[in-house]
Amino acid sequence: MQLFVGLGNPGSKYAKNRHNIGFIVLDEIARDHGFTPWKSQFQGEVASGTLGGEKVLLLKPSTFMNLSGQSVGEAMRFYKMTPEDVTVFHDELDLAPSKVRVKLGGGHAGHNGLRSIHQHIGEHYRRVRLGIGHPGHKDRVAGYVLSDFAKSEAGWLDDVTRGCSDGAKELAAGDSARFLNAVSLRTAPARSSKSAKPAQETKAKPAPETEAKIDTRSAMQKLADKFRSQ
């Protein structure tokens, strides 16, 4: 059994925040793959289902971001999981919007949700880093992540969430490369052959024998030639 965790803050006030992209992705996976309705458990909201034959529990902690580890640790202990069974979907300031990367282990880079999870289960879990971009200065980070996605970002956000759902089975199977490929098919689809410029048509020149000949004779020459032909 695996545990897919989405990070965010509970409540409608935060639902569309950049910090809640982990929740948004898990909602998409639950809808697309026929998971059970969400219910309250493990200090969070959970839904269960299967991805490619692998049983998976989806978890959205209700503890607020900086206490996410409490919820994750409780679910892990209940199902006797190890950190290697856990995948965390979270916002990533160091990646441009629409960029997605998978990482196993490592530091929390100052992310409060990851910091809390580190404290409860250690660092040896898998992360799906969902790029949201950086506001440009560290003093603006808090306001940036706790603000809603702009309307202009709706397109790439939809592509990322759908792409993560498309590749969820591969992720559950441990195939990060195929998962990322599924995401890229949404975020950077191959160009259609229809978009290629058609070859320029060239007008064929008339054959030399069909071209009209220009008569360069003078009027006197034409008259003389006329009498010769009679």
Contact between 38 and 21 (Cβ < 8 Å): no
User: For this structure, is 19 an active site residue?
Assistant: yes
Dihedral angle, C-alpha 31, 41, 69, 51, nearest 10 °: -30
Tokens representing residue 20 in the block: 């809640």
Q: Which residue, chain included where needed, has tokens 């529990």? A: 57
Closest CA to 2 of 61, 78, 82: 82
CA distance 130 to 93: 8
Burial class for 7, CB neighbours closer than 10 Å (0-12, 13-18, 19+): buried
Would you put residue 100 in left (φ > 0), alpha (ψ -120 to 50) or beta?
beta
Neighbours of 31 (CB within 10 A): 12
Active site residues per annotation: 19
